[in-house]
Each structure stands twice: as C-alpha cells, then as structure tokens.
Chain A
Amino acid sequence: MRFRTRTFISAWKALITNKARSALTILGIVIGIMSIIIVMAVGQGGQDLILSEIESLGSNTLRVAPGRESQGPSDVNQFYLDSIGQKEMDAILNESRVPHVVDVMPFVVVPGSVSYQGETMYPQMYGTNHVFEEHMDGTPNFGIFFDEDMVKTRDRVAVIGSDVEEELFGDESGLNKKIKIGDQKLRVIGVFGDKGQSLFMNFDKSVIVPHTTAMQYITGQQHFNEIIVRAESDEHVEQVRRDIQLTLREMHDIEDPEDDDFQVNSQEDLMQMIGTITGVLKAILVSVAAISLLVGGVGIMNIMLVSVTERTREIGLRKAVGARQKDILRQFLIEAVMLTAAGGAIGIAIGTGITFLVSVGLSQGLNLNWQFSFPWGAAALGLFVSATIGLIFGYFPARAAAKKHPIEALRFE
C-alpha cells in the first residue's frame, strides 16, 4: 500500500478536530501500555537488584544447603532438611577432602522474639560464625563482632542492628546489656550502624549470635540451614563444588547423584534460578497487561465503529469529491494507528514516570540500591504493540467506512 503525506495530514486533522473522542478512544491503550512499561521496568529493576546482591556475595562463593534440588513444582523439596551439620562443615573445611576452601560461614535461623526489660520485638535472628564479619561486611559501628574463640566456647553474646537497639533500649546504648532470646540471656557486644536492606537480610532489624550458641542453647537443632563456602578464586569454584559433592555423598552413602540430600549452588546457579523465577513472574504480569491491551483494542474498535457511523456524511462527501475506497480505508487506518501509537506514547511516558517514582521511593524509602533506567526495550515494544493494535482493530471499522455508498452516506441523518 502506498501512503501519501496528505492522507496522514488529513487523518491528523480529523483526530484533532475530535479531541475528546480521540482522548477517550486511547484511554484503554494508555493504561495497557502503561502497565506493560511498569511491569517490565520494575521487574527489570527488581531482577537487577537481586542479581547485584548475589554478585556482591562474590563469584567465588558456593551455597551448600540441606534438601535436594527441586525436581518440579510439585516436588516435595522438604526432605533431608537436617542433612548438613557440624560434621559436614568440618569435612568441607578439611583440606585433604576439599582443597582450595578459604572459609565457611554456617547459617542457623533462630525463630522467636528478643526482649529487654519488658520490651519485646521479633527481629531476623541468625546464628553464624566469625567469618560473617568480613564476608558480609558486618563490622559493628559500636563494640565488636564475635571472634572464632567466642564461637568455639559458645559465648552468650549477640550483635544487634540499629533498629533493634532503638526498640529495646530507646535512647540508651545497648552495649553490654543483656537481652533475652528464648530463656537465654545474651550480652550485646556490638551494634551495627544504619545499613538497611540487602537481599539476604536487613541489618538494622537483625540479631546475630554465634551459631554454636544458637544451636546449643536456643534452637536445640543439630543442623545448619545453609553454609556459604568461599573458594580461593573463581577458577576453583567448580572444583570445590565437585569435591563438596563427592565428600558429602561419601559421608551420606549416596551413589546416585539423583539421591543427593543436599544441594550446592554457585552464584551462577542462583542467578539462573532468579532469572527463571523473575522471568515467569514477568511473563504472567505481561500477559495480564496484554489482556488489558486486547480489551483496549476492542474498545478502540467499538469507538471507531461509532465514529465511522457518526462520520457517515463526511465519508459520503469525501467520496463525492473523489475519494476512492482505499483513500477512505487508509485515512481511517492511519487515524487508528496514530491514535493507538499516541496512546502508546502517553502510556510509555506515564509508565516511565511511575517507574521513576517507584525507584526513587524504593531506593530512598527502603534504602535499597534500586537503579532507575529508561526501559528502552519495553518502550519500543509498547509502541510497536499499540500501533499494531491500531492496525488490527482499526481495520474492520476502516473497511466499513470505505465500503459506504456515497449517496446513502450523504443522505444519512
């Protein structure tokens, strides 16, 4: 089809002559494209954030967790939750079994509350070892972090976050005060400064105790919830992973890797996993947005059909003065595409604006390292999709317009 500039001009004039109707027509498209932009951009931002958090762990780290890897959505992944304990950690630290390991950091989740003189709160509580301080950038602003000896001797000590300190002690310092976790009293030896949320924990709202103390006196459990293993370098990661797998299989009498009662994930595995999860989420959200676009498209078709009826006399007149069927068809098609593309552009603008506000809100309000970037891909997709919707849903009304008989159209009241 050959389109002449004059057809675009004519379509443009028709649209601005009927501003109110044009605005109404594109509302559905504006909303649809806006949601696509928000979903894609916020989703991308979230994914980037999670990935950068994983990256910040270091690409030389491995995560050893009890339980086998999920084999599918209905798989009962809760087997063997107690398969990784002190024995396994010692084996990983044994140079002759797993060489090239720098250090390991066990994690024990401590449920329950912490209280001090009648003040009670429910922070995130973990048991871990001295490696935490270096690996997680966990040096307290006040006091000290527990060292290796304190872990060995199961000292009843705790390092707490700034929010926890404020909640429990008000304006006073919490250092050297004794807090109560379960029925155990622990001395506060360190307080983190304001650090905010990272992927794995919120320092401000956390309480960290030696894992030995936690297991012995608080939870009573013999196993870890996970172990973070640091290899000497990136090149050693795969070898360390192999050696950990072999060691643990040997210890647990496992012959077939399918029967593993543990999993070892590298940073890359985690990234892939996160990528898959966020990909599925995005797909779901985008299909919701697609449905809203479809509804918007049907709305456009509806309003354009009404518009074609309203403009019957105009169509008759245009034909009387020489418009051919294809001139009318093109005019209405171009009008539809211009409308939906404009709707798409407005949707992109609003969506980008909202995305920007969300990213400002998340990075300032929640202290997240959330990056705003203009969603070029989503914008291009949005523009393309909206124009296509105009073309598809505008075609039927445009054809109805083109087929009108000039005299009957002119007689139309």
Chain B
Amino acid sequence: MIKLENITKIFGQGDNETHALRGVSLFIEKGEFVAIMGPSGSGKSTMLHILGLLDSSTAGEQHLHGELVTALDEDAKAALRNKNLGFVFQSFNLLPRTNVLENVKLPLMYSDIPAKNWDTHARKVIEQVGLSHRIDHEPSQLSGGEKQRVAIARALVLQPSIIFADEPTGNLDSVTSGQIMELFDELHQAHGHTIILITHEDDIAAHAQRIIRMHDGKIVV
C-alpha cells in the first residue's frame, strides 16, 4: 500500500543543512494501524508529511497504491491527497469563525462531488464522530476533544484509504485522549481505514498493531 525506499530529506543548504531523514525504508499494508514513536527532532513529522504527499523527499523512491509518486507534480499530489489521504493535526487547524459543518465540508470543495451532496456527506461523518449536536458551533465554542473530532470528521469526509495523525492527542487531557483513540480504533476496526499516527505516549501507541521507532532520521526497529 505504502512503500518508502531509502528516503532521505535534507532541509536547508550549506551550513544550514539538516538531515531530517537519513535513508528510511518502510512498508505499510492496507488496513494497518501503525504508531510512529521517537524523541523530538528524530524525523517523525517529516516522514509523515512525505508519506502524506505534503512534502517531497530529497532522494529515494516512494509508492502509493502501487504507483510511483516520487516525481508527481504538486497538482497531482493535491488530487491524491484530496481523494485518498486524510490528515489530523495536533493543533486541529480548523477555520476560525466557521461552523463545524462548513469546516468539515472544506475538502469537498476540491473534489468532484457536486455541491448539492456536500451537506449529506458532511453530516454523515459529523454523526460518525458524535458531533451532530454541535453542527452549528464555531471552533471557539468547542472543547479540545470536540475540535479534534471535527478535524477527524474533516479527514474522513471523502472516505480516504489512509488517515495520518501527527500527535492528535498532544493537546488533550488523558480522558479526552482515550475517547479520541476509541474513535481511531473504531475507524480502523469497523471501517477498515489505514491509520498512521505519531505519538509520544506508550498507552496511545498501544492502540496500534505496529510501532515504528525513529531516532536521528532513521527507523530503529
């Protein structure tokens, strides 16, 4: 499903060069639930961004659904992200002063789905994350856990095959974190989504089937 071969990523030039990834190879099956762990600065986010086609690697080869994606241009990557990939961030990244429904509809704008069906699609995933009663609320009126549910609904709205989450519980208390992880479990078990999630917490990582540990730009286990 996802294959990285000897991927390197260098930020900056000359004296400012940072080797964020130093030859990473990785294979993730369809339907897997993978946790990525490792100290700060070890390259977890960088790898997630490359896996999610949000950033390109400096060298190496990358396949998605059996297709070589290393050399795709920005527009093609944007189309793939829209169709197949969903993202959940630590800081939620919701549009301010915009209600839950409109936030969840955002990816539909860039899809082929006709506008008249957007509401139906959005309401369905909002119900799936249990936020139907908050559908008219703006982010400022929501708790952290609710915000992250909105972000998950937004990631789900186009039914992507893979969901990427970069420390999705990093800003949440442990009770709320538990509830969010139950949601990920359900997406994985009941709906068969592939989930790739970065975390520092062992009990969060415990929800995954496999743990990838990184250190200094390399996978260590």
Q: Taking beta carbons and an 8 Å cutoff, which residues of A are in contact with B?
A: 5-7, 9-10, 13, 17-18, 313-314, 316-327, 405-407, 410
Contact B55 A322 (CB under 8 A): no
B residues with CB within 8 A of A: 49, 52, 54-55, 74-75, 78-79, 81-83, 87, 89, 93, 95-98, 102, 106-107, 109-111, 115, 154
Closest to A327 in B: B110
Name the contact of B54 in the complex, choosing from A18, A326, A327, A407 (C-beta under 8 A): A407
Check A317/B75 contact, CB under 8 A, given A17-B98, A322-B81, A410-B93.
Answer: no
* Further contacts, 8 of them, CB under 8 A, given A6-B109, A322-B82, A325-B74: A13-B102, A18-B97, A313-B93, A322-B107, A323-B109, A324-B74, A325-B75, A405-B55
Q: Are A322 and B111 within 8 A (Cβ)?
A: yes
Within 8 Å CB of B75, what residues of A?
324-326
- A324 with B95, Cβ < 8 A, contacts A317-B106, A407-B49 known: no
| A167 → B minimal CB distance (Å) | 66
Q: Which residues on the B side are within 8 Å of A320 (C-beta)?
A: 52, 54, 81, 87, 93
Q: Which of B78, B83, B89, B98 is close to A13, meaning CB atoms less than 8 Å apart?
A: B98
Query: Are A321 and B82 CB-contacts (below 8 A) given A5-B115, A327-B110, A410-B89?
Result: yes
Closest Cβ–Cβ distance, residue B112 to chain A (whole Å): 11
Most chain A CB atoms below 10 A, which of B55, B75, B78? B78
Residues of A within 8 A of B87 (CB): 320-321
A313: chain B residues at CB < 8 Å are 93
In the bound assembly, the distance between CA atoms of A316 and B91 in angstroms comes to: 13
What's the nearest-Cβ distance from chain B to residue A303, in Å? 18
What distance in Å separates the Cβ of A158 from its nearest Cβ neighbour in chain B?
Answer: 76
Kindly identify which residue among A17, A18, A314, A319 contacts B78, using a CB–CB cutoff of 8 Å. A319
Interface pair B110/A321, CB less than 8 Å apart: yes
In the assembled complex, the Cα of A351 lies from the Cα of B148 at a distance in Å of 49
Residues of B within 8 A of A319 (CB): 78
A322 pairs with B79, CB closer than 8 A: yes
* Contacting pair A321 B106 (CB below 8 A): yes
**Contact sample, A vs B, 18 pairs, CB 8 Å cutoff:** A6-B115, A17-B95, A17-B96, A317-B95, A320-B93, A321-B81, A321-B82, A321-B106, A322-B81, A322-B83, A323-B78, A323-B109, A323-B110, A324-B78, A324-B110, A327-B110, A406-B55, A407-B55
Give the chain A neighbours of B79 by CB distance below 8 A: 322, 324
CA distance A290 to B74 in the complex (A): 40
| Nearest 6 interchain pairs by C-beta | A322-B82, A322-B110, A321-B107, A324-B78, A324-B75, A17-B97
